[in-house]
Chains A and B, each alone.
Chain A
């Protein structure tokens, strides 16, 4: 029986890039992104691969349907890394914008879940913009 393979040209995945820095707020962002990755909301992708100009990571990142970039604080390292490498069309989220102070925000499951929920909302809002 000849089975026609499903066409794979229907757009790339939703990708997430996170600063994954040393600060507490960066860890909250990182773990929230990983929560969404594990739940299948979007795929976490390597920000270091963008900074290092790793060709396959850059090519795949350019093919993303939507990109969500998460920073722990207003240094915006992830956002700047993306912009420096030619990525401008992405959703940006900063963990300290929740109202938490970098270095004074102990990492907790509750905070990670709160940020994960906000990131999920942002992805959903972006999806409705695309569909509208």
Chain B
């Protein structure tokens, strides 16, 4: 599974990265984390606000820092879809 954090690297982006890693770790997932920091690359995802979280290229959350529990729900639903 590829977890992508979209954002230019501010404190919120870092916090979302930490929460995503915690969530993936709690679920025991085999994952690859990618930080997408270039604004042009971020725009390619179609998000209108950052930080954002994409799973395997699909945007699941934008504009806020989700809790690890919330990200676990997102990850679980992505696995099952």
Contacts and interface: CB of A to CB of B under 8 A. Distances in A.
Interface of A: 5-9, 11-13, 43, 55-56, 59-60, 62-64
Contact of B62 (A5, A7, A43, A60): A60
Interface of B: 7-10, 12-13, 37-39, 42, 46-52, 58-64
Interface of B is mostly: loop
B10 A9 contact: yes
Contacts of A59: 47, 52, 59-62
Given A9-B51, A12-B63, A60 B39 contact: no
A63 B48 contact: yes
A69 to B, nearest CB: 17
Contact of A8 (B39, B46, B58, B59): B39
Given A59-B47, A60-B48, A63-B48, A5 B61 contact: no
Contacts of A13: 48-49
A55 B39 CA distance: 21
B3 to A, nearest CB: 15
Given A59-B47, A60-B46, A63-B49, A11 B8 contact: no
